[in-house]
Amino acid sequence: MIVARDLTKTFQDRKRGAIQAAEGISFTVHPGQIYGLLGANGAGKTTTLRLLATLLTPTRGTAMVAGHDVTAAPEKVRASVGFLAASTALYGRLTAREMIRYFGRLNGLPDPVIVERIQRLADELEMHEFLDRRCDKFSTGMKQKTSIARTLIHDPPVMIFDEPTLGLDIMAARAIVKFVRDCRARGKTVIYSTHIMSEVEKLCDVIGIIHDGRLLAEGTLPELRARYRQDDIEEIFVTAVGPGPAL
């Protein structure tokens, strides 16, 4: 479960001064639920997810992730989280097996458990063919599967996805979407950020619309449709954030 309370992050920029990347963000995600964080580029999605994954420390507020406080026990939070982003790459000079094993060890798993889990993940994700090849020679699909296995090796109860389909082709993106659904089916708590409306529509149980670092609206798709009197998610989004800058 994820409970974010008043999560706020202020960056100091030498030229632009204080930047509110996230301001007073509060929401709750339950196990077996996919929470979609929908926002344009620079809306504060990545900052919010990085705060949850303890890559960043909040300026104010906090969050409980799988029962651990992000500010008080960041290492325990990270041990309970699988974090997958377009920006989380693989070590090119390691093989897929070495990459997954490395993260298993960093999560404190004993080697026999790691061996067994790699076997199972490779079965599920059909990775056997390239398991002992170096990651820098991988196709996008192989990289993706290895990244997924890397996030799952410690079987975390919470999954955080930061625009995982960014830059992927349709087939690869579909595989990710399927994987996210599987996570939900296994009862994991899932938070998923994207700027792609259709993904939100297909995937998310609860949608949070984020803009300028603030969570402007939150609810299930039917709830949002009712509140904004719009059927189309894109129209809902535009109505929620207000008119953009004129071109």
Partner 1 sequence: MNFFRMNAHAIATVYGKELRDMLRDRRTLLSMIVIPTLVMPVLMLGVGIVSYKVVRQAKATTPTVMIIGGEDSPAARAALAAHERIEVVPTTADWRERISDKKVRAAVELPPGFDAALERGEPAVVKIYNYEGEMRSAFAVSEARRFFDDYRERIVAGRLEGRGLPATLVKPFQVRTENVAPPEKVGGNVIGGIIPYLFILLAFTGAMYPAMDLTAGEKERGTMETILCSPVARGDLVLGKFLMVLTASLGTVVFSLLSMALTFMAGGSLLAGVAGGASAARTAAAGAAMPVLPTLDPLGMLAVLGMVLPMAVLFSAVLFAISLFAKSYKEAQSYASPLIIVIIMPAVVGLLPGVELNARLALIPILNVSLVSKELVSGVWQWDYLALIFGSTCIYAAIALGFAVRMFNREDVLFRT
Interface contacts to partner 1, rule CB under 8 A: 11-12, 50, 53, 55-57, 75-76, 78-79, 81, 83, 85, 87-94, 98, 102-103, 105-108, 134, 150
- CB of 165 closer than 8 Å to CB of 173: yes
Smaller CB separation from partner 1, 74 or 219: 74
Q: Least distance in Å: CB of 87 to partner 1?
A: 5
Task: Report residue 131 as tokens.
Answer: 């398991």
Smaller CB separation from partner 1, 58 or 208: 58
Smaller CB separation from partner 1, 91 or 119: 91
Q: Least distance in Å: CB of 42 to partner 1?
A: 11
Q: Least distance in Å: CB of 139 to partner 1?
A: 17
How many Cα neighbours within 13 Å face the side chain of 96?
26
Point out which residues pair with 12 in neighbouring strands: 18
DSSP assignments along 124-171, one per residue: HHT-GGGTTSBGGG--HHHHHHHHHHHHHTT--SEEEEESTTTT--HH
Q: Which residues are CB-contacts of 80 (< 8 A; sequence separation ≥ 6)?
A: 65, 66, 67, 68, 156, 157, 158
Smaller CB separation from partner 1, 46 or 217: 46
Q: Least distance in Å: CB of 28 to partner 1?
A: 22
Q: Least distance in Å: CB of 81 to partner 1?
A: 7
Smaller CB separation from partner 1, 83 or 130: 83
Smaller CB separation from partner 1, 12 or 112: 12
Whole-Å CA distances, 105 to 85, 111, 166: 21, 7, 28
Q: Least distance in Å: CB of 198 to partner 1?
A: 26
Whole-Å CA distances, 175 to 31, 159, 178: 22, 16, 5
**Strand pairing report for 68-69 and 214-219:** unpaired
